[in-house]
Every structure is written in structure tokens, then in C-alpha cells.
Amino acid sequence: MAPESLPDDALTLEAVSHGFGAVRALDDVSLTVRTGEVLCLVGPSGCGKTTLLRLAAGLEAIQKGRVHIGSRVVACADLDIAPERRGVGMVFQDYALFPHLTVTENVIFGLHRLAFAERRARAREVLVQFGIAELADAYPHMLSGGEQQRVALARALAPKPHIVLLDEPFSGLDSRLRDRVRDETLHALKASGAATLMVTHDPEEAMFMADRIALMRAGRIEQIGRPVALYFQPATAFAAAFFSDMNRLEGVVRDGRVSTPFGALETRLAEGTPVEVLIRPEALHLAWAPEEEQTEKHYRTVARVLAARLLGRSTLIHLDLSQHSGAAHLHLHSRVPKHVAFGEGDEVAVTLDVSQAFVFARSDAATDPVRG
Amino acid sequence: MTAAPAPMRIVRGERRRIDVWLLVALLGAVPVSVPALVILGYLFAPYGDIWHHLAQTVLPRYVLNTVSLLVGVGAAVLVTGVATAWVVTMCEFPLRRAFEWALLLPLAMPAYVVAYTYTGLLDVAGPVQGTLREWGVLSPGDWFLPIRSLGGAVAVLGVVLYPYVYLLARAAFLQQSVAALEVSRTLGRGPWHGFLHVGLPLARPGIAAGLALALMEVINDFGTVQYFAVDTFTTGIYRTWLALGSPSTAAQLSAALMAFALALVVMERLSRGGARFHHTGGRYQRLPGYRLRGAGKAAAFAVCALPVLVGFAIPACALAIWAAETASQVADARFRGYVMNSLVLATSAAALTTALALAVGYALRVRPRPMAVAAARLATAGYALPGAVIAVGVMLPFAQFDNALDGWMRARFGLSTGLILSGTIAAVLFAYMARFFAAAFNGVEAGLAKITTSMDAAARTLGLGPGRSLARVHLPMLWSSVLTAGMIVFVDVMKELPATLIIRPFNFDTLAVRTFEMASDEQLHMAAVPALAIVCAGILPVIVISRGIGRGRPGHGAASGA
């Protein structure tokens, strides 16, 4: 995707490539983060997302391509502005709080451009905003993980940077605390009006935080767009499989269609192309088989329940479709909201929501649904 | 939209032409490796007549004595170090916790001080033979233990250097899986089998590294062998330099000795692997704590008590008694001068070396370029080079520089500049920096390694350049590492003898030099006061190391909220 030149483009990376020795970490990546927007870089580990973040901060020397902050070039072939002169705020995975400084001193650390008298006031203001004013004189080792995370964010936002970079900022927190801290962080970032670039390997976290998501894979951007677009219109099998578990069927295009146990799906792929069909578990709707007469309904078949497990907010049902599909072994998962009373051995009617079944040409590189 | 776009401005030439931090790394590291490179260069210089003379006369003896010393001391430190480490780590017996640190005390004693003390105790006029004669056990003229011999040198060096093996063997025993030992016991094997077939093989890398460090001290030793008249390469270098007046031959002897040293470095590097000098701490492992009874308890106690007695308690007591006797004669204004000389030298060397190590270590962190890393590695090779070799490697280029400058000035301006660098305090300090750079560098590097790189990144994104980050983030977190590094250099310089003897300005005496001179003049009792002063300084690092051991125990873990 080419960078758009909107007036409020805060951070732009233009055709950036980067390697470590023989390893190609980034391959011709272009990206724009707009003012006030939260953009999440998501992808499996080793896909280059952290390298991209470090290049934006100036912590990694640019090798190829350009980085703009506002309308100012900060890195290109013969220029590489030091991180301390880029005016970015950054939050690190391990928070990187200075252990020899108190919370207040940590926050003041980045405020050296303010007049001396204003520094303490600004630090106070930020600490109050984050609800950690009572920790002002504590040292980092005295804080809980969630408190450390808040201090790290407060420290990064205190100098009012136009760009905020976050590197896996929630991975050190346990899951319950994470939900709360994510929520606070999202609102603090939005309130600051800064352009935010955040790295995460967690697709749910990306969808929670992001206005737009850039899905990365092997040094390239696989797909970039609003979360809804990535979820409902995945560009590749990898993109489709990254955001949820997938049921996977294989087939071949015949007459512009691929046959499945639920009926034939339409596709624009060429005749004879080997394809894979990816179906989200929530796209398989279940009903009691006897309740409805066996009329010719679209995308519907009968299956036997192998197991049903309540996972809290939803129930995962393991289905065996081999009887009706004729296949030797066909095991699919369906996810339905709330608890349902299906039991082992029950016969159920399965209806496919076609909008969440995706057909992609099969290639060995694209078939493994790698999850970070 | 709160973010007002910055005005259109493309700043060119931000990437500096001269990389300051790379320059700091290179300018810091390269000069320190000059002495080693100079000596290496002499390997390829023509070998003169004196060399042939030496080869036909004394060289075989140097080789034989040096090798005998290495083998003998090697065996002694292995047995003593491993036995004490195993007993203290794995068994329960009275005073075990006290022995954990007491076994380190001989590290505080310079070998030459122990040599003088035992000579004073054991020679014909000494208290031991005197008492035996009084009791009628020994008649005048009877054979008695000849302490001033190769065997004596092995004994003295062995009892002073075993703590190197003890420390690393103990760390290895502590780190290895106790489960492996427990398995051995549940399979019906006793503690001895566990030691021989589980403990020892697992600890072998640590033990080998400790052995290598001890043997480096053996080839570095000058005071003991010189005093005992055991001719080794080190005494040979000293004699060739001062008596024969042949610098190039001394350099070639040094090069030969360097081969020994490099072999030991390779041995240490290959075997060290994960072994650390200081116990890393953190995890506390419940050790078997074999409960000993009767004879076993007595044997374990004796195994630990003997090295502490022989290596520290007896010589320290003798020194204390002699020092009390002679203090009024020795402690005059001139003695205060020696103390001042030692303190000033050791403090300046510690400050300079640590500052250099910090500059190079931090520059490598900011710019880890292969060239700079290689230069730093080369600079740390100095720790394997004996003081005598470093001295020759410093004196030769300094003298050449002085002569060249003098010649040029005379030809150009008719002025003689004489000796500017040779035989100055600056030359002595430079030799210390070359010799002890590694000690400081390793300490600083270990301290820096504990600071995660995201600390640097945080400081940079909050608007501080690398220099100000060092001052405001790294240094406050590094203080204890820097002070420890400085203290180790300080104590090493206090003890250092051969390089000081060769390079020092005329009539510039330190405590170590004074101890050596008085002992050489058979004024052993008079040497006790300066010797005791050196021992007192030497206790400092022992305290630090034993505190490091203590941190491996429960109840010392610092609270961490991460």
C-alpha cells in the first residue's frame, strides 16, 4: 500500500528494507500512521514488526528506504536522525523503568525541555491522569506489574510526543489485569491525540486496540486495513487464519465452484486450481436435526457431535461430518455463543454462513496457518 | 489534532563523518594491547649471540623449572581446591559456613609474602628448628625441610593459589543439578560414587577454568621463585633485562613465556563455558548435606582447616608478631613515603584503568562493530601476560620513542630531550593498565550486561544522547560494578612486583618493592610491616567475593516487582 499524503500523516515509512546479516527482516515495507490513529502491527514472531518499530524510533540505523515524521524526513540514505531528536515516545515490553529513580523522577526524565519549575507540575499532572499519583515517590521495584506499565506509559506521554510507539506493552501482565490496562491505555492514547504505532503478536489485542491493523509476515505487510476488513475480507489464507481458528477443507475449482459438504461455493479462481476453503468455527450454525424437516436448504448438512465443551463465553462443538459427506474422515469445529445442550452422539443440522467461508488458491507456503 | 506538523526541513549530514564512539573504543583498547604486540613482534626479530648462549646454558633449566612448577602447583591446587569445595558444599560439619569464606583468605596473601614468612619460620635460625633443637629432636647440621627449593615454591604457590580452583569448583557444584546426585543415591550409590561419577564430571569445566587462572598466576610469579633461587622464565627475563642488559633477548624470553600464557588462555576459554567466577545466585538449591560422623567429621574439618591455617592463619600471625616487634624501627618517615607511593600508584591505576574500561565497554555497547569488539578482546589478553613480560613490552617501545625523539630534536634543534617516558611514573601506570585492563573490563562489562538494552532505548527516546545516557542512566546503575572493578585493580597493583621492579623510576619504592628488598637482604622480620600492609589491602576483594557467595543463599533475594 502506497503511503497517502494526507496533511495529518504523522509517521510514514517508505519502501523500507532491512536485514540482519543474511536474514531479511523487512522487505520493501511502506506504512503511514495518521495523527490520532492507533495502528497495530501484528504478526507471528520474527515477522519484522519490532524491527519496523525500532526503525521508526531511530534505534536501528536505516539501511534502505525513508522515514518521515510529519513532513520532515528523519531517516534516508544519507541521513539518520538520532532517536533523542525525533520526539517520539516509546513504551517497552519490559517497561525499562530506571530502577535508580522514583516514579516522579522517571516521568521527569523526558521533560528536560520544559522550564525547571514546570517539570514537576507536568509529572504530577500525568501521574494524576493515570491514577498513580500516590506512587510518586515509589521506586520501580516496589510496584506491581500493572503499576509499572502505567508509569512506563505516563513517562512516554509526559513530553507530549506526536508519535507513540509501543512494543508488546501488555505481554508482561496476566490476562485479567491485561484487559483493564489495555482499556486504560487505549483511552489515554486517544486522549493524547498522538499517532500510535503498537506492536503485538496477539490478534485479539490488535483488534481491541487498533483503528487499523497491519498484518505482517516474513518482512512484508500481508494486509493492512480496518479490523473489520481484515476479519471479514481477508486477502490471503494467512490473514484469514491469523485472527481465529479455522476449519480447513481442500478442493479443486470446477465450473467456477468448489464443492464442500455444505454445497458448492462460488469462486473466481481459474478452473482446476487446487484450493483450500477456510471456515470460521462461528460460521457453522447448529440446530437440532429432527426439529426441521430435511428440505433442500442452502449450505446445510447433518453431522454427529463428537464432543461439546463449554469455554466460558462460547461452546466449542466437535463435529463428525464423514457420514453425510462421504469423506473418510471430516472433523470440523463449530463455536456457538453461550452454553448449548448438545451431547456426544447427537445428530445436528449444520448450516454454513457463506460470508465467513473463504476460498484461496492452495500453495504450500500459504497453507500453514501460523499463529504468533 | 494536537500534533502540528513540523516545518519542512531536511537536515543533511546528521550521520557524522567521524564515529565518536567507535573512535573511543579503538583509542581506548588499542594502546593497552601494545605491550603484547611488541613482544610478539620480537618473535620474528633476529636472535642474537646471547640467545645462543642462553639456549646452551640456562634455557633448559628455565623450561624444566617452569614446567615442574606448573605441574606441581597444578596438582596441588587441584587436590586442595576440589576437595575443599566438595566438602564445604556437600557435607555438614562444624564451622562449615565459616569455612565457606575462610577458604578464600589465602587469596589475600601475595605468594612472595608467604614465601618470606615460611623461610623465616623454617630456616636454621627460625622458631621451628630452634624448638626442635631445644627438644633434642633435631641436632645442628641435621637435614631439615629445604623450603628454598623447587618443592618449597610448589608448596607456597599451591597453598596461596588453590582458592581459584575452590571458587570455580564450588560454583560448579552449586549450579549442578542436585537431582542428579539424588538419583545416584536412590540407585544405591554412596556419596563417594556420587562425587567421582556425577559431581566431578559435571564440574570439570569450572575446575579447569580455575586451574588455568591459578597457573597464570604461577607463570606471573616472580617474588617467590626469585627468593627461592628457582630459575624460571620470569626470573630469567628479569636477569637478562637488568644484568645482561639485553632487551631483545629479554623480549624473546618473554615471547616464549607468552606461549605458555596463551596456552592457558585457550584452556580457560575452552573450558569456561557457563562457569562463572562469582556464584550467580538467585536460585537456592537444597544441597545433599551429607551428615558426617566421628572420623568423617574430623577428616572434613581437617581438609578445610589445613589450607586456611597454612595459607593464611600461620603466615598472618607470624607477620603480625614480627610487625609488632619491628614496627618502631620500620615505621618512620621513609616508610610513610612507601605507603604514599603505593596508595597513589594503586589509586591512580585503579581510577585510570576503570575509567578506560568503562569508556571502552560503553562504546562497545553503543557501537558493537566487529573491529571494536576485536580490539577489546585483544586488549583483555594482558591479564594472561606475566608482569615481567608486560614490563619488557612497555619499556622497549618507550625507550625507542625517547631515543627517536631525542635524536630528532638534536638533529633539528640541537636540543637533547633525554628520557621523557622511560622510567617514569607514567610508564609504570601504563604497564598496570595493560596488565589489569581485563580485570576492570570484565567487571564493567558484566555490570553493563545486567542493564537491558531497552534502558538505553528508553533514555534515547526520552531525549538523551548516548553520553548523557551514560551519566544519568548507566553510571548510577553501574556504581557497584565500577567500584568493585576499581578495587580489584587497586589490590592487584598493591601486590604487583615484577613490572614495578623493572619499570619504576630510580629510588621510587612501593610497599611491595620494599618488602622484596628487605626480604632479599635477609631482613625478614623488617619486611613484615610492609608485607602486612599489603595483606590488609588484599583482604578487601576477599570480602566482596565472599559476599557474592552469600547472595546465593536464601533471604538475600532482592524484592522484584517485575
Contacts of B480 in chain A (CB under 8 A): none
What pLDDT, on a 0 to 100 scale, did the predictor assign at position A288?
A: 80
Q: Inspect the interface and report whether the beta carbons of B458 and A92 lie closer than 8 Å.
A: yes
Q: Would you say residue A31 has pLDDT above 90? A: yes
Q: What is the dihedral of CA B350, B353, B355, B356, to 10 degrees?
A: 180
Nearest-CA distance B366 → chain A (Å): 11
Q: Inspect the interface and report whether the beta carbons of B14 and A113 lie closer than 8 Å.
A: no
Q: Can you say whether the dihedral through the CA atoms of A140, A145, A151, A155 is positive or negative?
A: positive
CATH 1.10.3720.10 domain span(s) along chain B: 20-52+331-520, 58-324+539-553
**Mean per-residue pLDDT, B201-215:** 84
Bin A3: left if φ > 0, else alpha if -120 < ψ < 50, else beta: beta
Phi then psi for residue B249, to 5 deg, are -65, -40
Nearest-CA distance B479 → chain A (Å): 11
CA-based angle B249:B503:B512, to the nearest 5? 120
Contacts of A142 in chain B (CB under 8 A): 559, 561
Bin A316: left if φ > 0, else alpha if -120 < ψ < 50, else beta: beta
Give the residue on B whose Cα is nearest the Cα of A149.
Answer: B562
HEC letters along A47-92: CCHHHHHHHHHCCCCCCEEEEEECCEEEEECCEECCHHHCCEEEEC
As its CATH architecture, domain A244-367 has Beta Barrel (2.40)
Contacts of B559 in chain A (CB under 8 A): 141-142
Amino acid at B36: A
H or E, element range at B371: helix B370-379
What pLDDT, on a 0 to 100 scale, did the predictor assign at position B7?
A: 39
What pLDDT, on a 0 to 100 scale, did the predictor assign at position B276?
A: 44
What pLDDT, on a 0 to 100 scale, did the predictor assign at position A260?
A: 87
Q: Which residue has the higher pLDDT, B145 or A42?
A: A42
Q: Would you say residue B557 has pLDDT above 70? A: no
Q: Would you say residue B263 has pLDDT above 90? A: no
Interface residue B370 vs chain A (CB under 8 A): no
Q: Which has the minimum average pLDDT: A329-333, A368-372, B166-170, B333-337?
A: A368-372
What pLDDT, on a 0 to 100 scale, did the predictor assign at position A127?
A: 95
Name which of B16, B22, B366, B461 to mutate to probe chain A: the one with the most chain A Cβ atoms within 10 A of its Cβ.
Answer: B461
Q: Which residue has the higher pLDDT, A339 or B24?
A: B24
Contacts of A192 in chain B (CB under 8 A): 2
Contacts of B6 in chain A (CB under 8 A): 69-72
What pLDDT, on a 0 to 100 scale, did the predictor assign at position B2?
A: 40
Q: How far is CA A15 from CA A42, A219, A280, in A?
A: 19, 12, 34
Q: Name the band, by pLDDT with cuts 50, 70 and 90, for residue B280.
A: very low
Q: Name the band, by pLDDT with cuts 50, 70 and 90, for residue B303.
A: very high
Give the residue on B whose Cα is nearest the Cα of A57.
Answer: B461
What pLDDT, on a 0 to 100 scale, did the predictor assign at position A3?
A: 38
**Mean per-residue pLDDT, B62-90:** 93
Q: What is the mean pLDDT of chain B?
A: 84
Q: Which residue has the higher pLDDT, A325 or A130?
A: A130
Name which of A14, A67, A76, A94 to mutate to probe chain B: the one with the most chain B Cβ atoms within 10 A of its Cβ.
Answer: A94
Q: Which residue has the higher pLDDT, B355 or B44?
A: B355
Q: Name the band, by pLDDT with cuts 50, 70 and 90, for residue B429.
A: very high
**Domain assignments of chain A as residue spans, ordered by start:** 9-241, 244-367
Contact A111, A159 (CB under 8 A): yes
Give the residue on A whose Cα is nearest the Cα of B467.
Answer: A84
What pLDDT, on a 0 to 100 scale, did the predictor assign at position B167?
A: 87
Q: Measured between alpha carbons, how far apart are the two ends of chain B, in Å?
A: 36
Within B324-399, strands assigned E span none
What pLDDT, on a 0 to 100 scale, did the predictor assign at position A26?
A: 94
Instruction: Tally Cβ neighbours within 10 Å of residue B239.
Output: 15
Residue B106 carries which DSSP code? G
Q: Name the band, by pLDDT with cuts 50, 70 and 90, for residue B192.
A: confident
Q: Name the band, by pLDDT with cuts 50, 70 and 90, for residue B558.
A: very low
Interface residue B7 vs chain A (CB under 8 A): yes
What is the β-pairing status of strands A195-200 and A163-167? Answer: parallel
Contacts of B14 in chain A (CB under 8 A): 79-82
Q: Name the band, by pLDDT with cuts 50, 70 and 90, for residue B442.
A: confident
Q: Would you say residue B14 has pLDDT above 60? A: no
What pLDDT, on a 0 to 100 scale, did the predictor assign at position B180?
A: 67
Give the residue on A whose Cα is nearest the Cα of B3.
Answer: A162
Q: Inspect the interface and report whether the beta carbons of B1 and A145 lie closer than 8 Å.
A: no
Contacts of A112 in chain B (CB under 8 A): 463-464
What pLDDT, on a 0 to 100 scale, did the predictor assign at position B125?
A: 78
Q: Name the band, by pLDDT with cuts 50, 70 and 90, for residue B253.
A: confident
Q: Which has the minimum average pLDDT: B229-238, B255-264, B368-377, B472-481?
A: B255-264
Q: Name the band, by pLDDT with cuts 50, 70 and 90, for residue B553.
A: very low
What pLDDT, on a 0 to 100 scale, did the predictor assign at position A364?
A: 56
Q: Measured between alpha carbons, how far apart are the two ends of chain A, in Å?
A: 23
**Mean per-residue pLDDT, A288-308:** 73
What pLDDT, on a 0 to 100 scale, did the predictor assign at position B242?
A: 80
Contacts of A81 in chain B (CB under 8 A): 11, 14
- Partner residues linked to A76 by β-bridges: A79
The helix-helix angle for B233-242 and B247-272 (nearest 10°) equals: 150
**Mean per-residue pLDDT, B70-97:** 91
What pLDDT, on a 0 to 100 scale, did the predictor assign at position B5?
A: 39
Q: Would you say residue B284 has pLDDT above 60? A: no
Contact B77, B211 (CB under 8 A): yes
The answer for residues whose C-beta is within 8 angstroms of residue A358's C-beta and 6 or more apart is A234, A237, A240, A277, A278, A279
Please write the tens of the pLDDT for every residue from A223-242: 999 999 999 999 999 999 99
Owner of C-alpha cell 586456611: B308
Nearest-CA distance A78 → chain B (Å): 7
Q: Which residue has the higher pLDDT, A324 or A372?
A: A324
Interface residue B11 vs chain A (CB under 8 A): yes
pLDDT-above-70 percentage for chain A: 92
Q: Which has the minimum average pLDDT: A11-20, B130-139, B362-371, B517-526?
A: B130-139
Amino acid at A133: A
Q: Top-level CATH class of B20-52+331-520? A: mainly alpha
**All 3 cell numbers of residue A149?**
506499565
Owner of C-alpha cell 637488568: B242
H or E, element range at B404: helix B387-413
- Written as one string, the DSSP assignment of A107-166 is HHTT-TTS-HHHHHHHHHHHHHHTT-GGGTT--GGGS-HHHHHHHHHHHHHTT--SEEEE
How many A×B Cβ pairs under 8 Å? 131
Please write the tens of the pLDDT for every residue from B491-502: 899 999 999 998
Q: Inspect the interface and report whether the beta carbons of A193 and B558 lie closer than 8 Å.
A: no
Q: Can you say whether the dihedral through the CA atoms of A176, A106, B462, A114 is positive or negative?
A: positive
Closest CA relative to residue B459, chosen from B443, B446, B448, B470 = B470
Superfamily (CATH H level) for B58-324+539-553? MetI-like (1.10.3720.10)
**Mean per-residue pLDDT, A113-119:** 90
Q: Would you say residue B78 has pLDDT above 90? A: yes
Give pairs for A12-16: CB < 8 Å, separation 24+: A12/A66, A12/A67, A12/A68, A13/A52, A13/A55, A13/A56, A13/A65, A13/A66, A13/A67, A13/A68, A14/A65, A14/A66, A14/A67, A14/A68, A15/A64, A15/A65, A15/A66, A16/A52, A16/A55, A16/A62, A16/A64, A16/A65, A16/A66, A16/A67
**All 3 cell numbers of residue A88?**
517520539
As its CATH architecture, domain A9-241 has 3-Layer(aba) Sandwich (3.40)
Q: How far is CA B407 from CA A131, B402, B419, B423, in A?
A: 75, 8, 11, 18
Q: Would you say residue B458 has pLDDT above 50? A: yes
Q: Inspect the interface and report whether the beta carbons of A96 and B559 lie closer than 8 Å.
A: no
User: What ipTM was reported for this prediction?
Assistant: 0.81
Q: Name the band, by pLDDT with cuts 50, 70 and 90, for residue B96.
A: confident
Amino acid at B115: A
Nearest-CA distance A117 → chain B (Å): 19
Nearest-CA distance A132 → chain B (Å): 16
Spatial separation of the C-alpha atoms in residues B404 and A150, rounded to whole Å: 65
What pLDDT, on a 0 to 100 scale, did the predictor assign at position B287?
A: 62
**Mean per-residue pLDDT, B383-403:** 89
Q: Which has the minimum average pLDDT: A42-46, B123-127, B283-287, B448-452?
A: B283-287
Is residue B397 exposed (0-12), middle (13-18) or buried (19+ Cβ within 10 Å)? middle
The helix-helix angle for B150-175 and B200-220 (nearest 10°) equals: 140
**All 3 cell numbers of residue A217?**
509476515
Q: What is the pTM of this model?
A: 0.81
Q: Name the band, by pLDDT with cuts 50, 70 and 90, for residue A293.
A: low
Nearest-CA distance B368 → chain A (Å): 13
Q: Inspect the interface and report whether the beta carbons of B477 and A8 lie closer than 8 Å.
A: no
Q: Inspect the interface and report whether the beta carbons of A71 and B13 lie closer than 8 Å.
A: no
Q: Inspect the interface and report whether the beta carbons of B561 and A90 lie closer than 8 Å.
A: no
**All 3 cell numbers of residue B120?**
623465616
Closest partner CB to A81 (pick from B1, B14, B464) = B14
HEC letters along B296-330: HHHHHHHHHHHHHHHHHHHHHHHHHHHHHHHHHHH
Q: Would you say residue A188 has pLDDT above 90? A: yes
Nearest-CA distance A87 → chain B (Å): 7
Residue A244 carries which DSSP code? S
Closest CA relative to residue B451, chosen from B383, B549, B376, B358 = B358
Nearest-CA distance A110 → chain B (Å): 4
**All 3 cell numbers of residue B281?**
545466585
Spatial separation of the C-alpha atoms in residues B284 and B158, rounded to whole Å: 31
Interface residue B15 vs chain A (CB under 8 A): yes
